[in-house]
Structure 1
């Protein structure tokens, strides 16, 4: 039942963190203009985030319920819910974005995403309450507000932020730098970022599953099985990454046309995709190893590796080579 208590504490911590996040999102236009972004791009980005903010609290709840289920070995339930809602999201995106009757246009995509987040959150709560066993639930209590418990979560969370968020933020900084090279370079960067982010989901998801599985085995004092699970996850992640590398290499000259028909952007993307193909192997490996480190409680180690690799070496070198 302590699982339910820690979930409540996580909810309290999320509520506190949502306040500055919403403030940033709702003032994104001014922030982006200060970062020397195009005014029209800043306006549209701010408009997008304002609509997407409607689903931000639900997204926080999704992360809590997902861990709640995974800790009990219910790995398939969040996947089933997300799969069903993903299909609904596609229909909503097309309907809200392209319907001649609603006239939402650009706003349709973030609104459909926000609605989908709320649907997943609501479905997760209903499934957790009505369908699955509630033995792990803890009655709502003021213990969730205890400073020591919140401090423990914050300490562990900061390690996770350093390990995972620092990597994502690095790519956002690269996007800001690319925008200074012009709209075509930014468009090419967007194509590459969407592509690599999409392919990264496979090894990252495998890393999450490995983290939970290895953590359970270590908790059961079965280090040999935990080691076997780590090796299996690593090899499977490497195989998946090699498949993505081959796809990017073979289709490097045609890949950009999946996103737009601009010839200059396609040439830029095609010239960089061989490097992206090589990068897949290392990026996929990082996704798996990161999960293994989290399972062993080594978030700080992963954070230090990411911070040094991205912010001490990678980004400064990339900016130097670009400008």
Structure 2
């Protein structure tokens, strides 16, 4: 595997006072010692020189993450294309199942593993014992697995719950069957997401891309074979089976990749210590869950709310939501690259370079949003025609274009700002801001504009969510640029490692390993 560019590779563009690599171990946490380490390692080059280096790093790393996320997104779109040919109720059942699974299982899993963006990236550059990266990885696995044990019974009895909520009996039955099968694939999907963050924290960015590029064609073929093939297809039940197969292949592929990469050196074997003091991990994971679920639920409310305004508005908002989601993946991928990058730089006692990396990621996100906006402005009618030829649906879609253009820039910026705060270990700040922006502002405003005296319907729902995202973005960017002390963040990161999670001595660590073996080493 070709290693991603290290900060030492960037020093030619941004020389520092001391040409130290980011893997130099740092664990002195006194203010004076921290200041000394910063003076040794941080860059003093002009902002533009450092920004150029960070831009090169972002281009080489985030491009791979973007490709990964786009390919992963194709899994769902292929599912929709396959099931849509089976009938309206089958498509409705799958959509309902995806909504339930997303809110109850997938979004919380993403939030739980997001804490690794803080712990693993900092440990990789700041810890003397690189096995601390694997230690935090184990805690992410524990958190996700525990959550899935809790939520699986709810998914198993989803049919009964949906009937209690007065859903159509046939749709509830199909959705319940879909979710029962899908339970088998949620854990490997969550492990794939955890492995991606574990590897990205070590600047191994291409693992997810390589694996998804191999599995995506298999998933596309299986969708035709199991769902639509007149000879071998098994209809609706084939859709969740294909997802389960793909999820296990993703997990198997990235496990093999990790074992053959340099990441194996950071894995110290299973240890009972990972089960202790999980409260420290949850302090960062639970706010991340709140953050992810807030936005996820917000998007789902758009679909649920628009369903009360007729088929044309529901179809129009589905087209626009699909379009916005595709463009959003670019900013979201930039965030997944920026978060471990900032954590690495903070752990390496390079706060100024970390701040400049944050600046670059914010600028890149705004540029992506503006590019997407220009695309919708000039090619919106053509893009709508790709989805539908119904003039009524096209008219409703056109009504959403102006708000979607504003939405694109703010939502992408929101994703980057949240990633920066994750890299700093400030998930609680994001969670509090999202509670204000989404639950206290976006939802009430959306309901008022959509159903209130103005009766703006689907357009009102979108403006409500857009206003909430604008508020969240404004609050996060204000916090980052007015209240974050980047030098102090270095000391806070080292304190988290030294005072709470520093591994035991080698002999004790070895004796504490479980006999169950290791994921990454033989």
TM-score between the two structures when normalised by the length of structure 2: 0.58
Residue number in structure 2 paired with 1:26: 156
RMSD: 2.1
Q: CA deviation at 1:297?
A: 1.3
Q: In proportion to residue count, which structure has more helix?
A: 1
Q: CA deviation at 1:35?
A: 4.4
Q: CA deviation at 1:36?
A: 5.1
Q: CA deviation at 1:30?
A: 3.7
Residue number in structure 2 paired with 1:280: 408
Question: What are the superposed Cα offsets for residues 39-90 of structure 1, whole Å, 9 maximum, x if unpaired?
Answer: 4444444343333322101011112211221121111112221222223222
The answer to whether structure 1 residue 71 and structure 2 residue 217 are counterparts is no
Residue number in structure 1 paired with 2:363: 235
Given that 1:253 and 1:267 are in contact with CA atoms closer than 8 Å, whether structure 2 keeps it comes out as no
Q: CA deviation at 1:172?
A: 1.4
Deviates more, 1:80-89 or 1:64-73: 80-89
Counterparts of 1:238 and 1:41, CA distance in 2: 41
Larger Rg: 2
Residue number in structure 2 paired with 1:249: 377
Matches within 5 A, 1:46-61: 46-61=176-191
The answer to whether structure 1 residue 139 and structure 2 residue 269 are counterparts is yes
The answer to whether structure 1 residue 5 and structure 2 residue 166 are counterparts is no
Matches within 5 A, 1:253-264: 253-264=381-392
Residue number in structure 1 paired with 2:431: 303
Deviates more, 1:191-200 or 1:118-127: 191-200
Q: CA deviation at 1:274?
A: 2.2
The answer to whether structure 1 residue 119 and structure 2 residue 271 are counterparts is no
Given that 2:163 and 2:172 are in contact with CA atoms closer than 8 Å, whether structure 1 keeps it comes out as yes
Q: CA deviation at 1:261?
A: 4.2
Question: What are the superposed Cα offsets for residues 197-218 of structure 1, whole Å, 9 maximum, x if unpaired?
Answer: 2221110110110111111111
Counterparts of 1:256 and 1:52, CA distance in 2: 32
Residue number in structure 2 paired with 1:186: 314
Question: What are the superposed Cα offsets for residues 252-305 of structure 1, whole Å, 9 maximum, x if unpaired?
Answer: 334344334444322211211221122101111111111111111111111111
Counterparts of 1:171 and 1:133, CA distance in 2: 36
1:168/1:186 Cα in 2 relative to 1: closer, same or farther (>3 Å)? same
1:237/1:168 Cα in 2 relative to 1: closer, same or farther (>3 Å)? same
Q: CA deviation at 1:131?
A: 4.1
Residue number in structure 2 paired with 1:16: 146
Given that 1:254 and 1:270 are in contact with CA atoms closer than 8 Å, whether structure 2 keeps it comes out as no
Structure 1: 5+ residue stretches without partners? none
Matches within 5 A, 1:196-215: 196-215=324-343
SS at match of 2:381: coil
1:30/1:176 Cα in 2 relative to 1: closer, same or farther (>3 Å)? farther
Residue number in structure 2 paired with 1:103: 233
Question: What are the superposed Cα offsets for residues 69-126 of structure 1, whole Å, 9 maximum, x if unpaired?
Answer: 1121111112221222223222222332221122323334333222221111001111
Given that 1:241 and 1:281 are in contact with CA atoms closer than 8 Å, whether structure 2 keeps it comes out as yes
Question: What are the superposed Cα offsets for residues 157-196 of structure 1, whole Å, 9 maximum, x if unpaired?
Answer: 1111122221111211232222233344333332222222
Counterparts of 1:268 and 1:41, CA distance in 2: 26
The answer to whether structure 1 residue 316 and structure 2 residue 444 are counterparts is yes
Given that 1:254 and 1:266 are in contact with CA atoms closer than 8 Å, whether structure 2 keeps it comes out as no
Counterparts of 1:35 and 1:307, CA distance in 2: 26
Given that 2:306 and 2:314 are in contact with CA atoms closer than 8 Å, whether structure 1 keeps it comes out as yes
Given that 2:317 and 2:400 are in contact with CA atoms closer than 8 Å, whether structure 1 keeps it comes out as no
Counterparts of 2:269 and 2:230, CA distance in 1: 48
Residue number in structure 2 paired with 1:82: 212
Which of residues 298, 305, 325 is equivalent to 1:177?
Answer: 305
1:217/1:241 Cα in 2 relative to 1: closer, same or farther (>3 Å)? same
1:166/1:57 Cα in 2 relative to 1: closer, same or farther (>3 Å)? same
TM-score between the two structures when normalised by the length of structure 1: 0.91
Which protein, 1 or 2, shows the higher relative CO under an 8 Å CA cutoff with sep ≥ 6? 2
1:213/1:287 Cα in 2 relative to 1: closer, same or farther (>3 Å)? same
